[in-house]
Amino acid sequence: MKFVTGDFNGDGLSDMAAVRGYADGSVKLFTWLSNPGGGFADPVASWSAAPGNWTFDRMTVRAGDFNGDGRDDVALWYDYADGHDTLFTLTATPQGGFNVPVASWTAAPGSWNASRVKVVAGDFNGEGREDLAALTGTRTGM
């Protein structure tokens, strides 16, 4: 599983989400919402992909409030087998689940190498919404 944390339902408490890949090739996104007593509710499957649509090992997962609505969303960086990469955003719902992935950026084949990219979330331009930054290495350095 690939875990991220954030306030996915906007209640001010930190929740947890995880993408899980299954042996049959399916992928699911689960959410564990925090409760005021310090524990978590049972996990809820927020999104799923049938076998053959997504490959778990090709996904990088990050969380942040990318649309500025007060709820943290999930970003999935997907490294396709043909060499192109796409960044998908799953916006959070008020219940703490997620909407379907929407492609928000695509890179041409060969322009990015996901095995050499480290992605971090943060509000880098100060406008109140989180952004993603990608650090990538090349043969000559960064």
Summarize pLDDT for 75-107 with one digit per residue, the tens: 999 998 888 899 999 999 999 999 999 999 998
Give yes or no for residue 138 having a pLDDT over 80.
Answer: no
CA distance 59 to 25: 13
- What does the pLDDT read at residue 140? 62
Report pLDDT digits (tens) over 4-49: 999 999 999 999 999 999 999 999 999 999 999 999 999 999 999 9
CA distance 28 to 69: 24
- What is the amino acid identity at position 108? A
Side-chain half-sphere exposure of 3, counting CA atoms within 13 A: 6
- What does the pLDDT read at residue 110? 80
CA distance 49 to 16: 20
CA nearest to 60, candidates 110, 8, 115: 115
Are 95 and 9 in contact by the 8 Å Cβ rule? The answer is yes
Give yes or no for residue 139 having a pLDDT over 70.
Answer: no
- What does the pLDDT read at residue 98? 96
- What does the pLDDT read at residue 141? 53
Tell me, yes or no, if the pTM score tops 0.85: yes
Give yes or no for residue 132 having a pLDDT over 90.
Answer: no
- What does the pLDDT read at residue 57? 92
Are 40 and 16 in contact by the 8 Å Cβ rule? The answer is yes
- What does the pLDDT read at residue 9? 97
- pLDDT-derived band of residue 59, with 50, 70 and 90 as boundaries? very high
Report how far apart, in Å, the C-alpha atoms of 107 and of each of 18, 30, 64, 126, 141 are. 25, 27, 21, 25, 20
Q: In this structure, what DSSP letter does residue 4 have?
A: E
